[in-house]
Structure 1
Amino acid sequence: MNLALFDLDHTLLPIDSDYEWGQFLVRIGAVDAAEFARRNDEFFAQYQAGTLDPVEYLEFSLGTLASFPQDRLKAMQQQYMAEVVQPAIRPAARALLQKHIDAGDLVAIVTATNHFVTAPIAKALGVEHLIAAMPEVDADGKLTGKLVGTPTQGAGKITHTKAWLAKMDKTLEDFDTVHFYSDSHNDLPLMSIVSHPVATNPNAALKTHATAQGWPLIDLFND
């Protein structure tokens, strides 16, 4: 069996699902538009610059989620999927995922974005396994606004991927081939330890590194 790992934002989707969720909340009037948009833009700029504190950002994002009742969260999640995510899904991304699924590979999305935002996206893409930042919930299942464990970002993707595999009594070394598809240099830690890293719609920093390393480069959004 082979293993195929995928980043999500700007890799399988031509959008940043976390950022767009924030923009969606502003658009529907669920949050204070000026203040939320300011914070959201600041965090996004930090992410692009590689200076983002992932815990600070995740707890800002999860704290926003925790302010809503569960039934409203579910309704907003469904509206967001219909209006923002579903129209963004590209045929080439679906086809690449399906190629690995049809080959019998173990397929997982490994994303720094939180599980609340990404779980319905993984389902829409037909991917059973999702490794994402986990929000804490209380005894009633309500989000508390806190993060469980460490962020699934940078080297954290290695930690969480290995922990996920360990639950199945597997390691990365158990697979003949391990692909990891990503657009970002932030994912170089995990890309550097798999057998088949693939720079997918890469940003400038990753494109430069991938070219120097002789890694394949693909574009899923040029359709």
Structure 2
Amino acid sequence: MALAIFDLDETLIHGDCATLWSQQMGRLGWVDTEPFMKRNNELMAAYSKGELAMDVFMAFSLEPLAGRTPEEVAHLVGPWVEDVIEPIIFSEGCKAIAEHRKAGDRILVISASGTHLVKPIAERLGIDEVLGIELEVKNGVYTGQTTGTLTYREGKITRLLEWLDEQEENLEGASFYSDSRNDLPLLLKVDHPHAVNPDPVLREHAEKAGWPIHLWK
């Protein structure tokens, strides 16, 4: 059984779930929308350039969750996934997932977004296994902090290797689909890298390396 790994944001969905959730928190009244989104967009611009310090972004984006229970947040994330995320799921991504599943591959989503968003989105895609940034919970509420290794850049490899050990699996014959230069470390680690709607840096690398380039719309 080979592993088929998918990034989430701008790979399986046409957007960034953390940014879309930030907008939702504004609608919920959890944040002052204009200054919050200004800072969000500044940090995401750094991400696009491969310059983001992910711990800084997570501390910023999770602060509105501090003191809220996972159940409260999940209750609000569910309808948001249905209303906001489902319409922007790439149909070609669903087809790729189905093809891998038909081939008997094991499907995994690995994302640099928080698991409070990644897990319910993956569930809508029929995917149960997820690696994302874990949120710290103390005394039954979110602290606004993360825990463990962040699934970002080389951190995706660290977390994946830990998961492979736990699952008694390996990367032999594995595929990985991503849009971002930030995922080059993991793309270089698998047997079958795939560039999906790649950013300029990833596109250039994929063209030189002869990797498949998918333009999903």
Choose from 189, 193, 204 the match for 1:193. Answer: 189
83-92 or 209-218, which moves further after superposition? 83-92
Q: What code does the residue aligned with 2:148 have?
A: G
Q: What code does the residue aligned with 2:188 have?
A: S
Q: Secondary structure at the match of 2:4?
A: strand
Which consecutive residues of structure 1, in runs of 5 or more, have no partner in the other structure?
Answer: none
Normalising by structure 1, what TM-score? 0.92
Normalising by structure 2, what TM-score? 0.94
The alignment status of 1:59 with 2:55, answered yes or no, reads no
Alignment of 1:98-117 (within 5 A): 98-117=98-117
1:145 corresponds to: 144
| Post-superposition CA distance 1:99-122 (Å, at most 9, x none) | 111211111001000101111001
Q: Give 1:139 deviation, angstroms.
A: 3.7
For residues 168 and 74 of structure 2, the distance between their equivalents in structure 1, rounded to whole angstroms, comes to 34
Alignment of 1:118-133 (within 5 A): 118-133=118-133
| Post-superposition CA distance 1:89-139 (Å, at most 9, x none) | 132111111111121111100100010111100100011110100001114
| Post-superposition CA distance 1:150-176 (Å, at most 9, x none) | 21011111101111111012232xx3x
Q: What code does the residue aligned with 2:123 have?
A: K
Q: How many residues align?
A: 217
Percent of aligned positions that are identical: 36
CA 1:210–1:70 in 2, change beyond 3 Å: closer, same or farther? closer
For residues 195 and 74 of structure 1, the distance between their equivalents in structure 2, rounded to whole angstroms, comes to 36
Alignment of 1:151-166 (within 5 A): 151-166=150-165
Q: Secondary structure at the match of 2:29?
A: coil
Q: Give 1:22 deviation, angstroms.
A: 0.6
1:207 corresponds to: 203
Contact kept, 8 Å, 2:195 with 2:206, in 1: the verdict is yes
Contact kept, 8 Å, 2:111 with 2:152, in 1: the verdict is yes
The alignment status of 1:81 with 2:99, answered yes or no, reads no
Alignment of 1:20-31 (within 5 A): 20-31=20-31
Q: How large is the Cα RMSD of the aligned pairs?
A: 1.4
Contact kept, 8 Å, 2:196 with 2:214, in 1: the verdict is yes
Q: What code does the residue aligned with 2:93 have?
A: A
For residues 7 and 74 of structure 1, the distance between their equivalents in structure 2, rounded to whole angstroms, comes to 21
Q: Secondary structure at the match of 1:167?
A: helix
For residues 26 and 143 of structure 1, the distance between their equivalents in structure 2, rounded to whole angstroms, comes to 18
Q: What code does the residue aligned with 1:79 have?
A: P
202-211 or 24-33, which moves further after superposition? 24-33
Q: Give 1:70 deviation, angstroms.
A: 4.5
Contact kept, 8 Å, 2:74 with 2:116, in 1: the verdict is no
